[in-house]
A and B are shown apart, each in its own frame.
Chain A
Amino acid sequence: MAVDKQMTGAIQNLVLSAKQLKSLSFTPEVSSALMTLASLGVLRHNLGRDRILFVGLIGCTGTGKSTLFNSMAGQAVSQTGWRAHNTCGPVVLIQDTFLKAIEDLEQRFGSLLLPAFQRGVLSPGESASTVGAPGIMQLIQFSSRQRHPFALIDLPDINTTLARDDNLLALEILPWLDAVVFLVDDETIYHRDYERPVTVTNELKQSRLCVLNNRGRDRVDLDHHDLIEAKSFYGVERIHVLPEIRGKDRFENEPEFTQFKQDLFNLSAPAPDPPLFKRIAGLAKTVIDENQQRLDALNSLEEETSVQIQNQIAKQPALSLEKILNDDVLQALNHLGLKRFAITNVAQFFKRVFRTGSLKRSFQIAFGDRKDGGLSQIFRMDGAKLENEVATRLADGRERIHEMIRRDQLAESIPLLSSRLREMDARADSESYKVSLKKIVGEFERECQGLITQDSVSASIKNDPLLAVALLTGLIIDFATIPYFGSWLLVPSAFKYLPLGKFESAKRRFQKSIQDVIEQNLFKIRDQLREIRGGLILEKTDPLFKALQICAGYSGHEN
């Protein structure tokens, strides 16, 4: 009993969060079937133990469903006639007090009774020609002193091509019934289209009656072995054989009809809950599986994306300063402090003299003390070039990652997910990183300018004591071993290529932070994935997920 209670609670939660489930757009057939059954569960539970029974008429066209319905209603409500497929939508005969009770419930839960249908209400005595239209549930209320313990539902047939075009509405509504009245006639008693409803009825353990509308035969031998087989097929103890009514359009006081009515009134067993719960469990499990599938696909995608981003960043060569700095500035920066005595500076000096013809300035840039600040004046980073470079790298990275995402096998197999992934914008948004880029450039510029303005031998010894010691040692060794050779010029040249000193570390920091900007921007793809995830996945902590889990976990205990 505790299991049932838990289950009904979970089902109520399901119905209450119908909107949420819908927004997650799982396979529409599954989720709508789940919601319909859940509404049924809630309806049954809330109406209590002595709720009314829903009794439905199932049968092929022309077996007299609507005639029987009208006979029970005592008035011509549902359309009858010799034509095929007269009734297209359910027509429900229901006592007004019950309807009131259901409507009260619906105040709380939203539409509960056959929620997929639009509702039309017919008051007693009224008759409409449009009764039984597709997509509309027609309610006929009556107030009677006699307590009818059931609501009778007239359903469309199960065998015409038109009914099949409507996806066999009768079978869709079948789970709602507590009792099923199978209507057959001499032409259809062995019709194979009864197999499906009978299977469902067996599974749901609904009570059932079988009515044979006899219109062809002179006599029906109920003890014939073929009919005994039919009885066991429909799962009834007796078949009510109704005679042909000539000249009237409904049964009134025929003894067989009275007997049938009596049997119908005597029905008291509501359809048991466990089979319904089992169905719900099956559907809930499908939904959870689908959710899990999405979750797995997205998780693996996220992981792969992170790995791919790291790889990308690791593979990218560091941004070369040549691309974004003016030659002079680069020359000056590379030859700060002691490095200014490198032999490469001589070549640079001559090159510059030939190009510009300015001796003094060339000397200053090549060997000079940079304290005068002239250099920091010309120090200018080409922002546009840098932005371009970063944009290129970003676009490359994004494209690769998107390519990977799109080719992901797991996600490809989930149509909704793959379409969402395709909608993701592969283009880099150019604005957001520009601000941080500017900041980084500003910092780097300030740092470099500081280095330039402080440039002196003493300052650089202070800045890079290690370099100074190494240089000094090199010079001493050089002087002591090969006197007058003058290779002292080569020593600072060698140090030029050693990544030491303040400028080198500033440069590295700069390169690193540029890479960080790229990385951050690439990780936005992961954020995009997370956004998608929010709209597609039910997280484990969500109450709806918990309700689904309880539903899916239902194993049923037969009693």
Chain B
Amino acid sequence: MKIETLRNQLDSLNIELERLTDREALELASQTGAAEEDSLFLYGIVGGKDVGKTSLINQLAGARISIDSDVLDEGTNIAVAYCSEADIPALEKRLGADARERLKIVPHEREELKNVVLIDFPDFDSRFLLHRDDVKRFGKHLQGMVWVTTPRKYGDHEFIEQLETVAQSSDNYYVILNKFDQVAGKADLPSVREEVLAYLTRDCKKKNVTPPDSSRFLMISALDPEAYEFPQLHSRLVRIHSPEEIAKAKAKNLRAEFDKNLARIRSHFALSDKIEEIDEALESICQTVHEIYGGDYFDTVQKRVEAMEELRRRISRGLFTRRIEGWPILRSLFYPLAGIVSTLGNRFAFAKTPDETPEDPRDALRYEGMTAAGWMRNIREKTEMEYPHLKRDMGPAPKFPEVVEQKFIHLIRDYEEQIVNRLSEGAPTPTIVRRILVYAPLIWFPILQPLLVQMIQYEGSLFSIAALGSGFAALISLFGAGQLLQSLVFLLVFYATWLIFLYSQGVRIVIKEGHQEFHNTWFQQFLPWIIEALSTPLQKTRIKLTEKNTQLQEIETNVQKELDRMMEGRGN
């Protein structure tokens, strides 16, 4: 039963692929499960009108079992089975409803044809549709086929059409060129063999089915059982088929069925080709995006972004707040003085005032008169044109303008955050000297400096206790408003200068490093994102197709395993 499940799996895969690709599902070759159980081996003798099927079966049976008129008429009307008396119940069970009224059974008691049933079919190339149906209906019950043609008919398209949907292994498929006597005078056996086989093989290759086996291609004249290769055919068909041989042949058919179906599904839906094509398309999208958005486009946008003064201010300020986080005094001083510090800091850093300030990200992304969204659309269209088969898989075009603008705003925000983070990480931890330098003024201006001044002004020795004492006295007495104010002003001026210096240093760093940082953001975030937006549906299809491809492979290995198991079971 396992085979049956695999068959169903393959069937549903076939239908799913129809949905996934733009091609119709295939009509798969199939055999009935019933054939696996009994030990009958059914040979179907099929072929076009008047190719001598009936003569052949009569010749093989050694009796006139099928009516073979000498008048030109429509020919055999219903199928005729030549079957051993003992096998009739099994045959009827096998054919079941399919046989009703369309099959005449001719019993025999020949020992050598036990287990083997020969069935003569009506021609399948006639205008009478019923005849074709018979072959279709019975086809799935057959284990072997004897396809009869003639020198005049071997080019007919019927053969290849039938071979496409037939499940039998080429090992169980005989191709018989009847009426060889008609060409006997014009060509010899080898040349006819070569010509016909070449013709059939070419057709088979076009349709991707296994061509007929040359050892099973025989040329006969059904009217003359002694001539040409008829004796060979007779000895191959009319003989005792051992149960092992029959089982082997059936297993071969199963293998052939799956091989053929798998191969046809693969070539029809061209899974790996399509996956390859998608890969190519993805690659080309990636390349085009880099070509377009890299280079000149990037330079233009970068200039614009750097010209966004507001943005640079935010970044410099962010960086600056980070840098003075460890300096409580500086930090508390910076907030009231932020305006002055940043303005002067910018000026000292020689940051140029930009001449154009795009406010809208849409404007910042414009290049050669087109928005980023326009370029994106161009890329999509280019891909669509280059890979017309993938148009359906690319899905409906996303709303590029909305998508790209939002992304760009996010991008700028990220860029801002990242640059602040990265630059502040690299800042050195303040050394002792620096700390002293920053905090010393707190003692210097209110205390040391006035003390020193007082001491200098003291008449007498500068370095005497008296001078010091006078200094302290003055200091204490003068700790009034005037001196304090004076020292505060000094403090303020000192720290403000310090802040401005620090700030301008930061701005310089931002200008220097921001360049690189924006480059990174653009190439490592924005471009991958654009590529993603353009290729997501394709990626999805690719995943699905790969999945189906794996499923196909799984089915293939499972079939292999199952068949091996069956063969082993027989061996024991």
Bound-state CA distance A399–B400 (Å) is 11
Among B50, B51, B126, B156, the one with the most A-chain Cβ atoms within 10 Å of its Cβ is B156
Contact yes or no, B157 A160, CB < 8 A: yes
Which residues of chain A are within 8 angstroms of B401 by Cβ–Cβ distance? 399
Give the residue of B70, B126, B182, B385 whose beta carbon is less than 8 angstroms from that of A190. Answer: B126
Q: Type the 1/0 row for B187-205, where 1 means its CB is closer than 8 Å to any CB of A.
A: 1000010010001000100
Q: Looking across the interface, which residue of chain A has its beta carbon closest to that of B360?
A: A392
Contact yes or no, A81 B50, CB < 8 A: no
Number of B residues, CB within 8 Å of A:
48
Bound-state CA distance A497–B370 (Å) is 37
Q: Type the 1/0 row for A165-193, where 1 means its CB is closer than 8 Å to any CB of B.
A: 00000000000000000000111111111
Bound-state CA distance A395–B375 (Å) is 12
Which residues of chain A are within 8 angstroms of B316 by Cβ–Cβ distance? none
A85 interface hit (Cβ, 8 Å): yes
Q: Taking A216-B179, A217-B70, A427-B370 as contacts, is the C-beta distance between A60 and B126 under 8 angstroms?
A: no
A558 interface hit (Cβ, 8 Å): no
Contact yes or no, A428 B369, CB < 8 A: yes
Contact yes or no, A187 B195, CB < 8 A: no
Q: Which of B28-78 contact A (CB under 8 A)?
A: 48-51, 70-75
Bound-state CA distance A422–B179 (Å) is 61
Q: Taking A191-B125, A217-B70 as contacts, is the C-beta distance between A159 and B366 under 8 angstroms?
A: no
Which residues of chain B are within 8 angstroms of A473 by Cβ–Cβ distance? none
Q: Type the 1/0 row for B340-368, where 1 means its CB is closer than 8 Å to any CB of A.
A: 00000000000000001000000100101
- Determine, out of B146-154, B430-438, B481-489, B514-522, the stretch whose residues face the partner at the interface: B146-154
B512 interface hit (Cβ, 8 Å): no
Contact yes or no, B155 A187, CB < 8 A: no
Bound-state CA distance A355–B86 (Å) is 119
Q: Interface size bucket, A side? A: 35 or more
Q: Looking across the interface, which residue of chain B has its beta carbon closest to that of A218?
A: B70
Q: Type the 1/0 row for A79-112, where 1 means its CB is closer than 8 Å to any CB of B.
A: 0011111000000000000000000000000000
A61 interface hit (Cβ, 8 Å): yes
B261 interface hit (Cβ, 8 Å): no
Q: Type the 1/0 row for A50-74, where 1 means its CB is closer than 8 Å to any CB of B.
A: 0000000000111100000000000
B100 interface hit (Cβ, 8 Å): no
Bound-state CA distance A221–B50 (Å) is 16
B441 interface hit (Cβ, 8 Å): no
Give the residue of B50, B192, B377, B381 whose beta carbon is less than 8 angstroms from that of A216. Answer: B50
Which residues of chain B are within 8 angstroms of A557 by Cβ–Cβ distance? none
Kindly provide the distance from the CB of A87 to the nearest chain B CB, expressed in whole angstroms. 12
Contact yes or no, A224 B48, CB < 8 A: no
Which residues of chain B are within 8 angstroms of A406 by Cβ–Cβ distance? 377
Contact yes or no, B71 A221, CB < 8 A: yes
Which residues of chain B are within 8 angstroms of A188 by Cβ–Cβ distance? 48-49, 125, 152-153
Q: Taking A82-B187, A218-B70 as contacts, is the C-beta distance between A62 and B151 under 8 angstroms?
A: yes
Kindly provide the distance from the CB of B210 to the nearest chain A CB, expressed in whole angstroms. 17
Which residues of chain B are within 8 angstroms of A193 by Cβ–Cβ distance? 125
Contact yes or no, B51 A422, CB < 8 A: no
Which residues of chain B are within 8 angstroms of A307 by Cβ–Cβ distance? none
Kindly provide the distance from the CB of A160 to the nearest chain B CB, expressed in whole angstroms. 4
B95 interface hit (Cβ, 8 Å): no
Contact yes or no, A159 B150, CB < 8 A: no
B183 interface hit (Cβ, 8 Å): yes
Q: Which of B149-179 contact A (CB under 8 A)?
A: 150-157, 160, 179
- What would 5 more interface pairs be, CB under 8 Å, given A191-B127, A216-B50, A430-B369? A160-B155, A190-B127, A214-B72, A224-B73, A422-B381
Selected A-B contacts with CB under 8 Å, 18 pairs: A61-B152, A62-B155, A63-B152, A82-B151, A82-B182, A82-B187, A83-B195, A157-B155, A159-B155, A160-B155, A187-B150, A189-B72, A190-B126, A191-B48, A191-B49, A219-B71, A227-B72, A428-B369
**Chain A residues in the interface with B (C-beta under 8 A):** 60-63, 81-85, 157, 159-162, 164, 185-195, 212, 214-221, 224, 226-227, 233, 385, 388, 391-392, 394-396, 399, 403, 406, 419, 422, 426-428, 430
